[in-house]
């Protein structure tokens, strides 16, 4: 699944491996924190954070370099 998400960024094989691992860590971390009630400590809705996470690859520094490396 994560590879399909990254397809539009055209990462090279090495960058794709790193990116898939990063996404797996983010997904696992968010699910684990949500299940443990870790997001209930602030007034920010966890869904808004999730939307920010999903949108962030488009605005993070270095994404253009990843595309060029592919």
Rounded average pLDDT per 10-residue block, the chain, 70 residues: 70 81 89 91 89 75 50
Residue 61: what pLDDT?
55
CB contact burial 15-51 (16+ within 10 A = b; e otherwise): bbeebbeebeeeeeebeeeeeeeebeeeeeeeeeeee
The whole-number pLDDT of residue 32 equals 94
User: What number of residues does the chain have?
Assistant: 70
Position 28 scores a pLDDT of: 93
What pLDDT is recorded for position 18?
84
Residue 62 confidence (pLDDT)? 58
């Amino acid at each position: 699944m994560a590879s399909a998400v990254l397809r539009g960024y055209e990462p090279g094989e090495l960058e794709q491996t790193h990116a898939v691992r990063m996404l797996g860590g983010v997904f696992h971390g968010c699910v684990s924190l949500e299940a443990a009630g870790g997001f209930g400590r602030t007034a920010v809705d966890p869904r808004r954070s999730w939307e920010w996470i999903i949108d962030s690859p488009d605005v993070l520094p270095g994404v253009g370099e990843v595309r060029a490396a592919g």
